[in-house]
Structure 1
Amino acid sequence: MLRKLYTLSLIILIAFAACNKEDDKLHNQEGMAVSFNSSIFEGAQTRVIGANWENGDKIGVFAIESGSTLQEGTIVENYDNFSFSTTGNGVFTHDDQPIYYPEDDSAIDFISYYPYSADITAYNYPVDVAQQVDLMYSNNLKNATSDNTTNTLEFNRALSKLIINVVPKGNGSLKGLTVEINGIKTEATFSLADGVLNIDDTSTGKLIITPSGTETKKVVNAILLPTTEGNSIEVVFKANDVDVYKWTVPHALEQGNRYSYNIRLGDLSSEVTPATNYMEIPHYTAGDSAPHSFKAVHMVGSTSWLNGYTGPQDQPIRNYTVMYDTLHSVPYWIAFPLHPIYMDSGNRTNEWTFDPIIPQRYQPNVVNSGWVSGPYDRGHMLASADRSATRDINRTTFYVSNIVPQNSNMNSGTWNELENKTRNWALDAKYDTLYVVTGSILYPEDQFKITTDIDGKEIAVPEYMYKALLKQDKTTKEWHSIAFNMENIASGPSYKEYVLSVAELEELTGFTFFPNLADGEVVKKQKSLEHWK
């Protein structure tokens, strides 16, 4: 799970297995064969990100002399573009000849890429955007020997990705929708020796894409070559070959980045808004942003904040995002990924302070004491234990933008039970990252409830508190969702009494949850606890 978190990271662990010397034509004595196992950290949605390897996916691997550049004279033991494949479970094994560490135990470097191609000339990978191949590259694993027990190949996207989520305005239909992308460069070569992408500037053309989805929601996924200028790529939406709307991408496409937009497509006018690149960030259903709101994205300050993190050290890692109601001084929602790297035992700080991003005038002054009136705790939306890996990351949960006035009995009872279960679900190795949105629903205006802070500032008391959850099975690739909505009172005996579907929660809140989820309409109707035990 991170150059923006829409930048991809795949983590490959090198494991070793003994090989019989009689079967080894390249070695005179028994050696250690190299195999690959993939694991998930980040869940951005492209074909091979996360656990989404498919049966038959192949990576190409080169083994070269340590400290050298990939070229004919530096290849070790003829380990030149060897293919490794997976059955879809993330474990890679060699297809033909295995790779062994040298008999003299000298160090070697690995270079790898996805997807495998047998037609590599001069260590250049040909790129044609018409093929829509999401090329990945890794050259980080250096000075490797058979003594190493944990080696990682860190893959990064070599091109750019544009995602457009399309819905019709009103009761319209997207039947027959196609998309034409104009003004793009179509061909390039990618150097596997140094990771440089060389674009053919004479290869200007267009790309025709048929979006996936239903008549009420479609998704455009386009792998494109990076650009240096904004407003250079035009996207034309067509219904039955008739132009409906034209839109120009307002920015350059940087190499390795993913860009997401939402569009409401109408006959006379259309609306395009940037979409989050993070799976967990909700979208305000009625427009660009919720009324009187302020969004703050909190990032992890350092990888030292995390527990057992082995991913890229030079890419930003998200902590959580808050959509804050500046009128009522409570969060609309807090959205965050939940994964073992964020958690450990202990490390609670109780160091209450103001959120450094949101203007202090909008936040309640409950830094040194709690609410002045009512049976309310400073109830965390992102629980302290959800960010317990270190004291550094735990401090960020004690920003007063991360709390609501929460009934004390609820906070220590049923809500606490749900928080504990949520962490248990995040620790289940069967699934990838758990995506969580925790939010509040205020009372109707004629029943509005308030409390105050030490300065007398009025703070809204939520009528309900909710969680929307989403996870993906690593093996089956199936998505599972569930939601819970609890009244902010001394709650009942079990969180199971408050189950509803994410789709139902969307109707109650006015937010679209997990908007980047493919086939979201089906997944978000799930209401069973079968996968949430």
Structure 2
Amino acid sequence: MIKRVLLFVSFLTLFYSCRKDIEMPFTEKKQSVLFSSQISGQVQTRVSGNQWDQNDSISIFMFEGNTLNANSVIAEGFNKQFITNSSGNFSPKNSNNEIRFPKWKSVNFKSFYPFQSGDTFNRRLDISDQQDQSHIDYLVGGSASNSSVQEGPVKLTMERIMSKIQFSVKGKGIQGVTAKFHELETEGVFNLEDGSLKHTKSFKEVEGKVIKSGEETIIEWIVFPGKLSNQSKIVFKNNNGDTYTWDIANQDIDYAAGNRYQYSIVLGDEGEVITKPNISYMELPIIANSADLEYNFKMTPDRSKRNFAMLYDKKNRLALWVAYPLSRDYLGNQKRSNAWAFDPAFPNQFQPHLSKGFGRGFDRGHQIPSADRTRNRAENATTFYFTNMTAQASSMNQGVWAKLEIKVRNWAKSAGVDTMYVVTGAAIQTKTDSRIDYVNDNSGKQVAKPKYYYKALAMKRGKEYYTIGFKINNEPMNTQADPNSYRTTVSDLEKETGHTFFPGLSEDKKQTINNSVWR
């Protein structure tokens, strides 16, 4: 028997040694897909801010082309469940949820939080229970570009579908205050194919989430974007059993997805509800969420005070607006540092390379001027980040725009002025012209050229606020042009740009220009 086995082994050895020229079967090892994720937007509505929680899970869909639908989705990548350890790095929950890059194909990915089982592209939204808000902070996301077998995880950018309303409540008997939202729409369906949100017109009375008690109470709700029902109202109840009703529908606010709307509420002695919008910083516009837009907030280098914020367009390599406070605290004797540099807050590939300027009749136009940050060299150097630069027509930049910047500083230093809040914007499209023009940076990469520039100003003097706007086309012009020829209201700037400026101010404040103030 042993002799037979040895003969058989010898035969196999001889057989394969004579067949070295014949290909042996080979199975290609496909790479398993992993994901990393960031939550975009300024306002963080999740319980853990902009960080993920342990074991958060998302749905993943893999598809060919640029659009997710029944024809493009890949069956092996349909609604797979991925989880995170709170780092934002996602891996399959188990082997059944693994996804592998298909051979010879480039693919895209779409994601949804939280994971929902099912065999359709519709995601069910239900906000009737507000007590665990992390589970109803619905997010949708996707990969930035087509992917194939690659090193490292696929990056997902997640955006919020919902809005948040938050109240800081003060008044008598406040330690035990609660609130119910009457006629709140609680159900909807989000379609992952086209990104549409369908409302089911289901309205309920919903208890608010109380997240802090003491001298004041914080109460909040996550709500569907858009306008509330005409019948919506909030009923507050203190620990004495007294009730206070606020007809919130009368605010007539079109709530934007991904944004938080804060109010200071005082429950009066006569049963009245006194409300005041509250925002973190007066100068900040309402933030738009997009995969190509990134909000960035900067403190001064010594961390002593806020510096400026921007909404940055990574695709077109410029800030759509830069917002900042201006007062004597930021002004001194520091000269221009000319510290041209990449902004450390963004990867270099998303910024223009502008060590030598644009050339061809265009300046490196600052949105926050160098002269608005002259307290010390470190603060001044931040204004020379390439993210703060735009292609500005030289004669316009050195003429009327420079005069306007001087006027703004003089207003900020005027007697009785507390702070000037400034939003400087560079519009690359208009209402009637969606085409984007480009110039090249020092590396030959395209950078969008603004069609016009604007400034939205809000002056705080005493307890009052005064506003004015300016809008100037980005084109060669007489250097003697007068900035006063380009005055407009902040309200009209909002209509032109689509941005909401100074959300803490009433519409009346933004519709008027007080000529005795803006001289």
- Equivalent residue number for residue 387 of structure 1: 383
- Equivalent residue number for residue 179 of structure 2: 179
Do the aligned partners of 1:53 and 1:90 also contact (CA within 8 Å) in 2?
Answer: yes
Do the aligned partners of 1:164 and 1:260 also contact (CA within 8 Å) in 2?
Answer: yes
Cα displacement string for residues 200-227 of structure 1 (whole angstroms, at most 9, x for unaligned residues): 12x1222111421122122222111233
- Equivalent residue number for residue 102 of structure 2: 102
The residue identity in structure 2 corresponding to 1:100 is R
**How far apart in 1 are the matches of 2:168 and 2:90?**
33
Cα displacement string for residues 47-71 of structure 1 (whole angstroms, at most 9, x for unaligned residues): 1775421111111101123245332
Give secondary structure in 2 for the equivalent of 1:57. Answer: strand
**How far apart in 1 are the matches of 2:108 and 2:274?**
49
1:175-214 to 2 correspondences below 5 Å: 175-201=175-201, 203-214=202-213
Do the aligned partners of 1:51 and 1:90 also contact (CA within 8 Å) in 2?
Answer: no
**How far apart in 1 are the matches of 2:294 and 2:50?**
25
- Equivalent residue number for residue 262 of structure 1: 264
1:116 Cα deviation (Å)? 1.1
**How far apart in 2 are the matches of 1:122 and 1:348?**
53
Does residue 146 of the first structure (1) align with residue 135 of the second (2)?
Answer: no
Do the aligned partners of 1:298 and 1:318 also contact (CA within 8 Å) in 2?
Answer: no
- Equivalent residue number for residue 32 of structure 1: 31
CA 64–167 in structure 1, closer or farther in 2 if over 3 Å, else same: same
Give secondary structure in 2 for the equivalent of 1:383. Answer: helix
Number of equivalences: 332
Cα displacement string for residues 55-106 of structure 1 (whole angstroms, at most 9, x for unaligned residues): 11111101123245332x54324212111111112221111132111123x0
Q: 2:123 aligns with which of 122, 125, 135?
A: 125
Do the aligned partners of 2:182 and 2:234 also contact (CA within 8 Å) in 1?
Answer: yes
Cα displacement string for residues 345-403 of structure 1 (whole angstroms, at most 9, x for unaligned residues): 997999999999xxxxxxxxx98xx9xxxxxx953799222333217449999955569
Do the aligned partners of 2:59 and 2:111 also contact (CA within 8 Å) in 1?
Answer: yes
> Which sits farther off after the overlay, 140-149 or 211-220?
140-149
- Using the size of structure 1 for normalisation, the TM-score is 0.51
Do the aligned partners of 2:174 and 2:216 also contact (CA within 8 Å) in 1?
Answer: yes
**How far apart in 2 are the matches of 1:304 and 1:196?**
22
Give secondary structure in 1 for the equivalent of 2:246. Answer: strand
- Equivalent residue number for residue 88 of structure 1: 86
1:42 Cα deviation (Å)? 4.7
CA 180–43 in structure 1, closer or farther in 2 if over 3 Å, else same: same
Do the aligned partners of 2:129 and 2:206 also contact (CA within 8 Å) in 1?
Answer: no
1:371-410 to 2 correspondences below 5 Å: 378-379=374-375, 383-390=379-386, 392-393=388-389, 399=405, 401=408
| C-alpha RMSD over aligned residues | 4.9
Does residue 160 of the first structure (1) align with residue 163 of the second (2)?
Answer: yes
1:134 Cα deviation (Å)? 1.0
Cα displacement string for residues 219-238 of structure 1 (whole angstroms, at most 9, x for unaligned residues): 22211123346855312211
CA 399–83 in structure 1, closer or farther in 2 if over 3 Å, else same: farther
- Equivalent residue number for residue 223 of structure 1: 222
What is the identity percentage for the equivalent residue pairs of Structure 1 and Structure 2?
20
**How far apart in 1 are the matches of 2:244 and 2:187?**
28
Does residue 341 of the first structure (1) align with residue 346 of the second (2)?
Answer: yes
**How far apart in 1 are the matches of 2:203 and 2:39?**
36
1:177 Cα deviation (Å)? 1.0
Do the aligned partners of 1:174 and 1:217 also contact (CA within 8 Å) in 2?
Answer: yes
**How far apart in 1 are the matches of 2:157 and 2:49?**
13
CA 215–194 in structure 1, closer or farther in 2 if over 3 Å, else same: same
Give secondary structure in 2 for the equivalent of 1:56. Answer: strand
**How far apart in 2 are the matches of 1:382 and 1:265?**
46
Do the aligned partners of 1:297 and 1:321 also contact (CA within 8 Å) in 2?
Answer: no
**How far apart in 1 are the matches of 2:409 and 2:206?**
44
**How far apart in 1 are the matches of 2:54 and 2:384?**
37
1:115 Cα deviation (Å)? 1.0
**How far apart in 2 are the matches of 1:305 and 1:177?**
35
Does residue 79 of the first structure (1) align with residue 92 of the second (2)?
Answer: no
1:35 Cα deviation (Å)? 1.0
**How far apart in 2 are the matches of 1:216 and 1:179?**
17
Give secondary structure in 1 for the equivalent of 2:346. Answer: helix
**How far apart in 2 are the matches of 1:315 and 1:194?**
28
Cα displacement string for residues 434-473 of structure 1 (whole angstroms, at most 9, x for unaligned residues): xxxxxxxx9xxxxxxxxxxxxxxxxxxxxxxxxxxxxxxx
The residue identity in structure 2 corresponding to 1:152 is K
- Using the size of structure 2 for normalisation, the TM-score is 0.52
Do the aligned partners of 1:236 and 1:246 also contact (CA within 8 Å) in 2?
Answer: yes
Q: Which runs of 5+ in 2 are unaligned?
A: 1-25, 131-135, 297-309, 332-342, 358-362, 391-396, 414-460, 462-503, 505-519
**How far apart in 2 are the matches of 1:391 and 1:190?**
35
1:258 Cα deviation (Å)? 3.0
CA 262–226 in structure 1, closer or farther in 2 if over 3 Å, else same: same
1:429-444 to 2 correspondences below 5 Å: none
1:257 Cα deviation (Å)? 3.6
1:289-308 to 2 correspondences below 5 Å: none
Do the aligned partners of 1:124 and 1:191 also contact (CA within 8 Å) in 2?
Answer: yes
**How far apart in 2 are the matches of 1:244 and 1:136?**
34
Do the aligned partners of 1:29 and 1:103 also contact (CA within 8 Å) in 2?
Answer: no
Do the aligned partners of 2:163 and 2:222 also contact (CA within 8 Å) in 1?
Answer: yes
The residue identity in structure 1 corresponding to 2:323 is Y
1:298 Cα deviation (Å)? 11
The residue identity in structure 1 corresponding to 2:88 is G
CA 159–39 in structure 1, closer or farther in 2 if over 3 Å, else same: closer
Give secondary structure in 2 for the equivalent of 1:78. Answer: helix
Give secondary structure in 1 for the equivalent of 2:194. Answer: coil
Give secondary structure in 2 for the equivalent of 1:70. Answer: coil
Does residue 69 of the first structure (1) align with residue 68 of the second (2)?
Answer: yes
Does residue 112 of the first structure (1) align with residue 111 of the second (2)?
Answer: yes
1:362-373 to 2 correspondences below 5 Å: none
The residue identity in structure 1 corresponding to 2:59 is G
The residue identity in structure 2 corresponding to 1:385 is A
